Amino acid sequence: MAVLTFSQEFGSGGTEIAKRVAEETGYAFADKKAIGELLAQYGLVGFQKVYESAPAFWEALDTQMMEQRKITIGMMNRTILALARRDRVVIVGRGSYLVLAGFADVINVRVQAPFDFRVARVMDELGLEDRDKAESAVRESDAKRERFIESAYGSHRDRVQDFNLAVDTRLIPRDTAVRFIVGAVRDLEKAGAEGGKRVSSIEVEPVLMHAVEELFAA
């Protein structure tokens, strides 16, 4: 079996590709909504605020606030590990490719596209007529994702070595990308992972694992 993580640029169509890959493989699909529901069960309803902003200077000097941020990100990481332990799951965003780095049966996918292409897609999909607003939305999204990855993991979201597969949707149609990724999953399932640790080795709190199973049973 396998686990897939998807990291995407806003406007690249990554979420749609991830959903279709989940549908064609029969894997469970975990996006920000699913992860948020699991976090909410543990009282971490403020995660979105942590995700969207890096610590400000004065906040960084506040030990209590930094400790709360650390706890929140730690719980999110444990949630991602629990999702992966379930196996046969597609996980979108939230730095999941970094949390699951080094697992031999995890495929980390990056979906991207040039800035102008993404702006045009955002205008079309959101029905925006003002190009300046679309450009601002894309830049803001890129900045939020970069700040989160850097502040939470000390990394950068565009490091090519962090991914097994990268898709440029300006050149690669979504249908082609889905077929290619599904093929990679099937190959991994058939051949089995070689070397490295497996998601089956992940230890998860029973209560959290039960919440994951309940989420996908619904």
pLDDT at 37: 84
* Number of alpha carbons in the 13 Å side-chain half-sphere of residue 174: 11
- Report whether 185 contacts 107 (CB < 8 A): yes
Cβ neighbours around 152 below 10 Å, total:
22
Q: Token pair of 132, please?
A: 């300046």
145: closest CA among 100, 195, 218, 92?
A: 92
**Residue pointed to by tokens 């619904």:** 218
Residue 124 β-bridge partners = none
What is the CATH code for 3-213? 3.40.50.300
Name residues whose C-beta falls within 8 Å of residue 40's C-beta, 6 or more positions apart in sequence: none
CA distance 213 to 136: 39
pLDDT at 171: 95
| pLDDT digits (tens), the chain, 218 positions | 799 999 999 999 999 999 999 999 999 999 988 888 888 776 554 445 545 555 554 455 455 566 666 777 888 899 999 999 999 999 998 889 999 998 999 999 999 999 999 999 999 988 888 999 999 999 999 998 888 888 878 887 777 788 999 999 999 999 999 999 999 999 998 877 677 789 999 998 888 888 888 888 86
pLDDT at 61: 45
Domain boundaries, the chain: 3-213
CA distance 25 to 4: 11
CA distance 45 to 37: 9
DSSP string, the chain: --EEEEEE-TTS-HHHHHHHHHHHHT-EEE-HHHHHHHHHTTT-TTHHHHHH-PPPHHHHT-HHHHHHHHHHHHHHHHHHHHHHHH-SEEEESTTHHHHTTTBTTEEEEEEE--HHHHHHHHHHHHT---HHHHHHHHHHHHHHHHHHHHHHHS--TT-GGG-SEEEETTTS-HHHHHHHHHHHHHHHHHH---SSB-GGG----HHHHHHHHHHHH-
